[in-house]
Structure 1
């Protein structure tokens, strides 16, 4: 008698279906999962430090620390989405910050001249990296590796291995200043209004093009939740001194880079180049020019980060930016950017930078040995990439 196997078939099919649902939920709510992870990290360190981690003063310092790697992550996420990598960003940050310190402290240049020159140098360095990896066909990994060594060597040469200090008070304000509380409150209201407008506009556009529209309660919950986070964020920082200028700058960059990624032709071409380079080239897009522009943006972000880092330290240090490239790359991967290119978000990368900064800050407060901090960060990076690899493999 032949056994009846029909009852077993639904069970074998249920597992893949359940796994698919889990993967779909994770892909859809990846940012929410990251925010929950940040909340758990903060809760963990808050308990172990008896509340010291969650004080307004420490959170303000944490966000100021995150702003440096966040600026690098804004540029790095485009580089990785396009299928490239840049290992020179930490050394370039240090070099440009050192140049800014020399111009300000030694040459007595006004800040109005120092900043544009340093930003221009960052763009030029990025263009050189991009030209070598696109038009000269040198792998971007090798270009970045060579730049990491060369830029650090130039920095040691121009500073003589010594700290350049002190920089002017106006320059220091860029790294240590605060936005007035009234201006911070106005900014919070503006961000909330923009969020509500964008959400309503998205619903209108989906209705116009006859696409599925989410339930009204879902978008309303999103607006209310985001608004609560924004006002809690501003209120917490106001308890210490206001919104730090570096945090304001990185939030501005978040808005600009997100707009570029989602609302411009250039942004769509970045994703297209990373998804399928040959098909994009055959469609008439100058892929070399797109990549060149991406590396130029990366150089610009290194300049911003170098300026803010020098202002935060009130000095130019020959060791500035050390391992900065690894923090930026890890932030992108933790934030959901695929190592194979073609997918990723700017806000995900910034949340990844917040995860890394929170771990650094919390473990430092607990006086954890430096080698354990490096082990923990390395393990998190490997797990983030493993999750990306597994999710992509299971989709096939």
Structure 2
């Protein structure tokens, strides 16, 4: 009996199907939380009768979650190195209290007070980083002690009372908007132009990245899939800026967030320091044997966390227009949850800045949506706890499946 001749098309078919299957698996894991965020937003948009995506509410979402997103950026670096920081909420409250004393009670110039507050955050991070990196006390214990210590110091500094109000110029850090230099009237034209500019920059960047991948013969997405992805992102950028333009325009804090996200993403993806941070989280002993100064880098990661916690405390105080003893309560849990929901591994070595931001937005949209629906804080906490548990379980499931 003669064996059927297998054509090139027949031989290529299984490989083509496998390629599609692999592409689906890679993208569904990579963009799973983005898809989840979109679905959650659509769900609450329907349940709240369209209130969620109104311009005023979108602006409030940005303002209300800015300090958590800032904490999530720093926390992602800490988690990637295989550690945790439970003190960031208390540090934010303490720095906010000290800044209120400097600005409100002692009339210190705003710029000097902000710089000193950030330096105070760096000093706190250095204090905790020393015990973790050089004395080798577990980060959980050190930062738990820090949470209690700085919460107590906050109450001592404030004497159990709130200090207010801050100057208008300080409040603008958290609640100000960029001016409309183009005088668009009812529509903030400057915001529209910025959205178009960001879209053009994103398109050029993606084309350059694709060209570079071709040059080095990396696997790249098909033209169709690439075009769909780029056009979808550009549409989202312009829709978002249009919604903001119909209200007050781009909040100043959004500019701060954009700079932080871009800067930290560049460091983690394109620099030696970023690769070494991932290496420490992957296998600290192997990283040390390969010549990486693991102690110093771990120390600097906690210094960085202290600075971002201080910045978060300043922004929260500016938004609240007061320094209060209860400030920063549970901030650390929201930041940690944002990182794990955004794809960070509980074992260290895995995670992205973009993932932390997506995770923070998931938490923020859920908080906002549940509040609009009138759910009490008890139900909100219970649901957020379940979401966190499911996210970590999903990560462990994927890790075991790969291994």
**Taking structure 2 as the reference length, what is the TM-score of the superposition?**
0.90
Q: More deviation in 222-231 or 257-266?
A: 222-231
Deviations 1:330-376 (A, max 9, x none): 00000001110111110111110011111111111121111111100
Count of aligned pairs between the two proteins: 379
Please give the residue correspondences for 1:274-293 in structure 2 after superposition, counting only pairs within 5 Å.
Answer: 274-293=281-300
Match of 1:147 in 2: 146
Match of 1:128 in 2: 127
2:118 paired with 1:111: no
- RMSD between aligned residues: 1.9
CA deviation after TM superposition for structure 1 residue 27, in Å: 4.5
2:45 paired with 1:38: no
CA deviation after TM superposition for structure 1 residue 166, in Å: 0.4
The whole-number CA distance in structure 2 between the counterparts of 1:380 and 1:22 is 28
Deviations 1:183-230 (A, max 9, x none): 433432332233122212212221222222322333222221111111
Deviations 1:86-136 (A, max 9, x none): 100111111111112221111111111111101111111111111110101
Using a 3 Å threshold, how does the CA distance of structure 1 residues 322 and 22 change in structure 2: closer, same or farther?
farther
Using a 3 Å threshold, how does the CA distance of structure 1 residues 22 and 62 change in structure 2: closer, same or farther?
farther
The whole-number CA distance in structure 1 between the counterparts of 2:350 and 2:328 is 27
CA deviation after TM superposition for structure 1 residue 268, in Å: 0.4
The whole-number CA distance in structure 1 between the counterparts of 2:269 and 2:349 is 13
Using a 3 Å threshold, how does the CA distance of structure 1 residues 56 and 132 change in structure 2: closer, same or farther?
same
The whole-number CA distance in structure 1 between the counterparts of 2:139 and 2:23 is 33
Deviations 1:299-348 (A, max 9, x none): 11101111111111111111111000000000000000111011111011
Using a 3 Å threshold, how does the CA distance of structure 1 residues 233 and 99 change in structure 2: closer, same or farther?
same
- Contact conserved, 1:90 with 1:323, CA < 8 A, in 2? yes
Please give the residue correspondences for 1:166-177 in structure 2 after superposition, counting only pairs within 5 Å.
Answer: 166-177=165-176
- Contact conserved, 1:91 with 1:322, CA < 8 A, in 2? yes
2:206 paired with 1:199: yes
Give the unaligned 5+ runs of structure 1. Answer: 1-17
Give the unaligned 5+ runs of structure 2. Answer: 1-16, 180-187
Please give the residue correspondences for 1:337-348 in structure 2 after superposition, counting only pairs within 5 Å.
Answer: 337-348=344-355
The whole-number CA distance in structure 2 between the counterparts of 1:340 and 1:194 is 35
- Contact conserved, 1:30 with 1:336, CA < 8 A, in 2? no
Using a 3 Å threshold, how does the CA distance of structure 1 residues 270 and 362 change in structure 2: closer, same or farther?
same
**Taking structure 1 as the reference length, what is the TM-score of the superposition?**
0.92
Match of 2:382 in 1: 375
